[in-house]
Amino acid sequence: MNQSFRKLWNITFLVVGPLWALFVWMVWTSGQLRTPQQEILFFSVVIPGFILIYISGFLIAKRHARKQCSASS
């Protein structure tokens, strides 16, 4: 790998983020969410889910680095 994981992960999310937003917009405008409760539930899953996926990449990289370090010792 020529680049750092952090840089590649951020670039990936710069590409995936707009696609994710497009998907959210498509669901929002499709008429599938009929009540305010459904809209709140949708956003309470989508937004934290996106953030959780973003953060999990760094947690996985950190765990991998620890395993690499302990394997080389």
- pLDDT tens, residue by residue, 41-67: 999 999 999 999 999 989 988 888 888
Domain count, the chain: 1
pTM listed for this prediction = 0.74
**1 located within any domain:** no
Task: State the greatest distance between any 2 C-alpha atoms of the chain, in Å, as a whole number.
Answer: 57
Instruction: Please give the residue range of the domain that contains residue 63.
Output: 7-72
**38 located within any domain:** yes
Residue 73 pLDDT > 80, yes or no? no
**Distance from the Cα of residue 3 to its chain's centroid:** 20
Average pLDDT, integer, range 9-36: 93
The contacts of residue 50 (CB under 8 Å, 6+ apart) are: 17, 20
**2 located within any domain:** no
**56 located within any domain:** yes
What pLDDT sits at residue 69? 87
Query: Which amino acid does the sequence have at 40?
Result: I
The contacts of residue 9 (CB under 8 Å, 6+ apart) are: 54, 57, 58, 61
Residue 4 pLDDT > 80, yes or no? yes
In the predicted model, what is the mean pLDDT of the chain? 90
